[in-house]
Structures are given as C-alpha cells and as structure tokens.
Copies of this chain bind each other. A is one copy, B any other.
C-alpha cells in the first residue's frame, strides 16, 4: 500500500473477489461479494430516502438526441461522453438515442406530463439504475463506463423548498457515509467551473483517501427553474397563476465501494464497515476433524444467524489459509473455535482492523459481538478522521502549497480564494491541486486570495482527486 497505492487498489478489487473484467473496456462484472456490499449500501440508503418521503420509479434507459438537447448547458456537458444507439435490429433509427448518462431530461419530460397544480407538488422521485459515460481512462468502481447509482430528481413549488431539499439530501449522504461507511466527509459547494451541467449550484461531500487524494463521494444539485423553463414544467398556484417548478437532483454511485477500499483497507486487504459487510462474522473451526468441533461450530453459526450476517468456512483449507482469506475480504470479526474452547464453553473473537483477540464465553457471545462490531466501526472511523485531519494543511500562498506538497505529500489544502476562475486555474497550473469544494463550515486562514492576493471571498479545500 505504501509502495504502490494504485497497484494495491487493483489487487484488492481482484483478490477480494469484488469484480472481474469484461470484454468491454471500462465495463466491469460486479461479483457476488462486491454486489452484496452494494446491496447493503442500497438497502440502507433506500430506507433513508423513503424515510424522507421519496418514492422509487423507473425511467427508460434511452434518451432521444433531441430530448438531450433541450437544455443547452446540460447537452454541452454530457453529449461528448455518451454512447449512441443508431440501429434497432437491422434498421437504422430515424433519430439517434443515447444511453442515459443521467436522467434529468427524462424526469423533466415526465414531470411536464404529470405536474399541473400546486397540489401535485412536491414530487420526490428516485431511481436505482445503471448509467453510461464513455470515459477514456477507467478504473474499477472509481471511473467506469457503466456504473450503478441512484439518482434523485425532485420538483418543488418554491426555490426555498428546492434549496432545502438539496441540503437535506447532502446531509443524508454525509450521515450515511459517517454512520455506515465510517468515513468522515467535508460538506461543501463546488465552484462554478466544477458544477453539474445545467445546475445553479452543486453541493458535494468530499472524503480523503489513505494516499491523501480526495474522492467526491456524492453530489446534490440545485437547478432553480432552468430545466423547468426548457421543458415547460409549470403548475397553477393557489391564485390560479402558472408558475415554473424549482428542481433538484442528487446521486451516489458504486464509487462508494472504491471509497471504502481506500479509506479502510490495509496491507492484508479490505476492511469493511460492519453496516455494509456482506459477512459480519466468519466462523472458523479449528482442528475440525476432531469429534464435536464441526457440530459445535455449525450450531454456533445457526444461533448467530438470527442477529448477524454470519458464515462458516468448514472447507478443507487450513485455518491459517482461511484467516488470510477473510482478512483479504475484510470480514470485521472472525470466530475461532476448537476442542479446547469447546471444553471451556468459549471461543476466540478476532477483530479485522487491529487483530485484537478476545476470549468470550459462548453464553453471552451475541452482546460481545455487538460490542466489538461497534468498537471496530468507531475505531476505523477515528482512524479515517485522523488521516483526514493529519493530512489537511492550511496554506496562505502558492509557495506554501508547493512546500506542503513537497514535505507532506498529497492531502487537503485549506486556502483562501477570491472567487475568480483565473486564480483557480493558475493554482492548478502552479501546484497541481484543484478546488475540491467551498466547505459549508468556513474558516479564516488569511485575508487574501492564495493566488492573486486580492481580498478573499471563501476558504476552499484544494487537492488532487480521483
């Protein structure tokens, strides 16, 4: 990991059986173990969306070229990287269809059909699907030509309601990342040059990986009424006057799996947060050929299944081989149980993150597992938080940024900015780091822009990004 982070990452996605490559460049096979992580992410997030009043729908995967072109900024942002369907069977289509890179245009067309009165608002829709963006450089989970995601699309009566929704969903994402992925994030606003094609403003959560590079883990966009005007989404208000709706969209992707790997993994492999681990506890019988061991291990597994995602490995492989296997796969807790343990009515619990061993009486093993899973979650969160804090550097000038990079390597740079895009570009050119976000929680580093020395408007997080 310390020597070649990129290779370490690629090794893990393969060795932990998360993905297989397919014959289409940039499209991956998500294997059962990888997909089960995504299912857990999905189930948890979906419950959070439903608890905040959202409903799931399914939109077509194809967008006619003329529909994609309806909103000017949007088509400019996406057209260069879409896959085009030109033929159905042996016939050439009259109009090209793109495979959705994102579904704003489809939701807008639908909302224009179904929204008529203020009574119809808000509409809070979400969909889980795959989307396609024809990227040149691809990496499993982090940047792939096809990826799985959810995209929320909402329409509201007022700008205030839409802004509130944008912030609400940013917070839902941040809470999910912190609670369930044990990954601290910075909540902030993207700069103008970095916002979503067609948005008034884009908010994001940014996390810091082991290697000091930033990863945008989720985005939430406020659209104002720009799309509504382009697509004619209007409603009659209480005074029977026609008004345009105000709109948002927000999404997270399978990229979160990449974030988990690079936040918590180590030289033995994955370390999975208990909330999304496909297997939370693996039971490994020791000296399993001896009388009673397998029976007891199976009995324990069945008992634990009522409370945890648990699996027994009673294959012919040696215990040592199994220990490595489940360390590679990041299973949070391992139970070792052999003849001596059975005699003493106990077993051994080993934490994945620090390999700490605890001897636990079988009688109250459930509460011990619960305690250790919680401790592990807190512990890997704190470790990731410490990484983020230790690798965040305040800089007042471009020279200080370069000095920090030379001395400390990659990380977040906190520095002031005048708000001018020219300075953003120049810092990038001179240091290699770009703006990540204008954090909602502002700090004062200095009075003047890190680049031009004019009065500063914002404190900005800068960094290199995945």
Q: Which residues of A contact B (CB under 8 A)?
A: 20, 22-24, 27-32, 35-36, 38-39, 55-64, 67, 79-90, 97, 99, 106, 109-110, 113-114, 125, 129-130, 132, 134, 145-146, 148
Min C-beta distance of A16 to chain B, whole Å: 14
A90 contacts across to B, CB distance below 8 A: 80
Assess the B60–A31 pair: CB atoms within 8 A. Answer: no
| Candidates B81, B86, B113; contact of A20 at CB < 8 Å | B113
Assess the B20–A62 pair: CB atoms within 8 A. Answer: no
A134 contacts across to B, CB distance below 8 A: 88-89
A-B contact pairs, 17 of them (CB 8 A): A20-B113, A22-B59, A23-B64, A24-B62, A24-B63, A28-B60, A29-B57, A29-B106, A30-B58, A32-B56, A32-B57, A61-B132, A81-B88, A85-B85, A85-B86, A88-B134, A129-B130
Assess the A62–B32 pair: CB atoms within 8 A. Answer: no
For A83, give the chain B residue with the smallest CB separation: B85
| Candidates B24, B56, B113; contact of A64 at CB < 8 Å | B24
Min C-beta distance of A42 to chain B, whole Å: 11
| Candidates B36, B60, B62, B87; contact of A86 at CB < 8 Å | B87
Assess the B132–A22 pair: CB atoms within 8 A. Answer: no
Cα(A113)–Cα(B21), bound, Å: 9
A97 contacts across to B, CB distance below 8 A: 24, 83
A61 contacts across to B, CB distance below 8 A: 27, 61, 99, 130, 132, 146
Cα(A84)–Cα(B99), bound, Å: 11
Assess the A80–B85 pair: CB atoms within 8 A. Answer: no
Cα(A36)–Cα(B125), bound, Å: 12
Cα(A55)–Cα(B39), bound, Å: 11
Min C-beta distance of A203 to chain B, whole Å: 25
Assess the A67–B148 pair: CB atoms within 8 A. Answer: no
Min C-beta distance of A47 to chain B, whole Å: 13
| Candidates B22, B106, B125; contact of A110 at CB < 8 Å | B22
Min C-beta distance of A199 to chain B, whole Å: 22
Name, among A22, A80, A82, A129, the residue most crowded by chain B CB atoms within 10 Å (CB to CB). A22
Q: Given that A83-B85, A86-B87, A88-B83 are known contacts, is A35 also in contact with B62, CB under 8 Å in the complex?
A: no
Q: Given that A23-B67, A110-B22 are known contacts, is A35 also in contact with B59, CB under 8 Å in the complex?
A: no
Q: Given that A83-B85, A85-B85, A86-B84 are known contacts, is A146 also in contact with B62, CB under 8 Å in the complex?
A: yes
List 9 additional contacts besides A22-B110, A79-B89, A84-B85; criterion CB under 8 Å: A20-B110, A22-B106, A29-B58, A32-B55, A32-B125, A80-B90, A83-B88, A85-B99, A89-B134
